[in-house]
């Protein structure tokens, strides 16, 4: 009977360890952002920037762009299906502005980690 109790205790501990490991892995994978993007619950106020030049296209709806006036680098996004291309100039239309909706962390080709705002064209 003593051997049976020890074996049962071992088995319960072993199964508990496996379950705990899966729970920890699930929490870590859900909190980490594989694409480097973190979005805010609410957009921030309008930025004064009115003109951007695309530096690098990240994905169909995302591009790294540099603000023409002060050189601020942003990840610009859209939901209207337009495709970005290198060296494209993006003008903010009258009645709209760019609002920060999150942050984007990425690593440059030389290994430097950068964090830039994610912005989106929105109504003022």
pTM: 0.69
Pairing of strands 89-91, 96-107: unpaired
Between CA 107 and CA 67 the distance in angstroms is 20
Going from the first residue of the chain to its last (124 residues), give the mean pLDDT of each consecutive group of 10, the final group possibly shorter: 75 74 57 73 91 90 90 88 89 93 91 93 88
Total residue count of the chain as it appears in this document: 124
Judge whether 100 and 43 are in contact, CB under 8 Å. yes
Cα–Cα distances (Å) from 104 to 19, 62, 95, in that order, read 33, 11, 26
Q: Which tokens belong to 57?
A: 């296209």
pLDDT digits (tens, 9 = 90+) for 42-70: 999 998 889 999 999 988 789 999 998 88
């Amino acid at each position: 009977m003593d051997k049976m109790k020890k074996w049962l205790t071992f088995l319960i501990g072993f199964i508990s360890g496996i379950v705990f490991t899966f729970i920890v892995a699930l929490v870590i994978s859900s909190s980490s952002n594989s694409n480097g993007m973190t979005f805010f619950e609410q957009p921030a106020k309008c930025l004064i920037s009115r003109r951007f030049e695309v530096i690098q296209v990240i994905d169909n709806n995302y591009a790294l762009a540099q603000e023409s006036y002060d050189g601020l680098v942003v990840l610009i996004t859209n939901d209207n299906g337009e495709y970005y291309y290198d060296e494209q100039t993006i003008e903010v239309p009258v009645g709209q502005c760019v609002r920060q909706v999150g942050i984007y962390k990425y690593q440059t080709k030389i290994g430097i980690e950068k964090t830039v705002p994610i912005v989106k064209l929105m109504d003022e």
